[in-house]
Structure 1
């Protein structure tokens, strides 16, 4: 029986957290911001206002990300590929590092409900630019590291995974879909955020 994208993503995240704990004996640290709360925060901040965090599963019921995608579809006038909806509606998290045969990357997620609206604005801007340049609609889900000048996206029509540069046509196809691409990834250590 094949895994769903959500199951596959949760398994990859669990492996990333396990790798982090095996190497550091704790969860990753981030700067605590009481004005940018997240279900990812674990425990209480230390004296330097650092706090442990770990990715948290989003609820299937009344999921704010699904509602955000409904509004996005209304704004742009067409449906968003189900894989990208599932990707952003599964996990709350800071970016998660990974590697593949092409190099290092950061998988992008949402930190909290307010982050949904920030993503919506970014996706609208990206999709309008694509439309203006008469390029296929794509939706980003990761960026390359260490420079981040390229990103990985889902082709909204086909579900294929492409490497892109901002404002340009997709460079090359990396996988037939998100599930296939995710199966090629290797977890990397989650860096502490200072």
Structure 2
């Protein structure tokens, strides 16, 4: 299974799980997104949101790879460039987590900056390059994709990877349940 298929499958399950009560968010015209279910609101009005497929490809991972002087693993590229969404709560066999997502183009640029910072730390610590995509709850761990082989790892900021969680991102996403 490919990352896009696994992510689409999880999002479809997440939407069914939340069909009676999509999550709410304050509308912010300065933070636009296709995810807002109602676009005709005033600032601060509550509205629901849901993930929306991205229609134009982002070059964020080409630019990220250029900044880091390496190719970025295609699984993480597919993961972040397929949908616009707020973060998605999920349950994995090992516990609760939040899948990090991007809300709009500006959020994509913030993600790029944060990924660069994470990768620079990894390089300084002489650890394998990894890219984060989820946070564990309640222990503040991060789930990362190791860039050289696509394996999924549990890490804690500033420390060596703790434990391999899955062989690849599609396998990991396939085991999740919405929360």
Aligned CA distance change for structure 1 residues 20 and 165 (closer, same or farther; 3 Å): same
SS at structure 2 position matched to 1:15: helix
**Corresponding residue for 1:158?**
149
Q: Residues 151 and 167 of structure 2 are in contact (CA less than 8 Å); yes or no, is this contact kept in structure 1? A: yes
**Corresponding residue for 1:185?**
176
After TM superposition, the score normalised by the length of structure 2 is: 0.95
State which of 45, 50, 54 in structure 2 corresponds to 1:49. Answer: 45
**Corresponding residue for 2:137?**
145
Give, in angstroms, the shift of residue 144 of structure 1: 0.7
What is the alpha-carbon distance in structure 2 between the residues aligned to residue 183 and residue 167 of structure 1? 28
Aligned counterparts, 1:64-143, within 5 A: 64=58, 67-143=59-135
What is the alpha-carbon distance in structure 1 between the residues aligned to residue 31 and residue 111 of structure 2? 15
SS at structure 1 position matched to 2:132: strand
The number of equivalent residue pairs is 178
- The runs of at least 4 aligned residues of structure 1 exceeding 6 Å deviation read none
Q: Deviations over 1:14-53 (max 9, x none)?
A: 11111111xxx23221111110000101124489611111
**Corresponding residue for 2:161?**
170
Give, in angstroms, the shift of residue 5 of structure 1: 1.6
Give, in angstroms, the shift of residue 146 of structure 1: 3.1
Q: Residues 26 and 47 of structure 2 are in contact (CA less than 8 Å); yes or no, is this contact kept in structure 1? A: yes
Q: Deviations over 1:85-132 (max 9, x none)?
A: 000011111110111121100001100011111011001100000000
Give, in angstroms, the shift of residue 63 of structure 1: 1.2
After TM superposition, the score normalised by the length of structure 1 is: 0.87
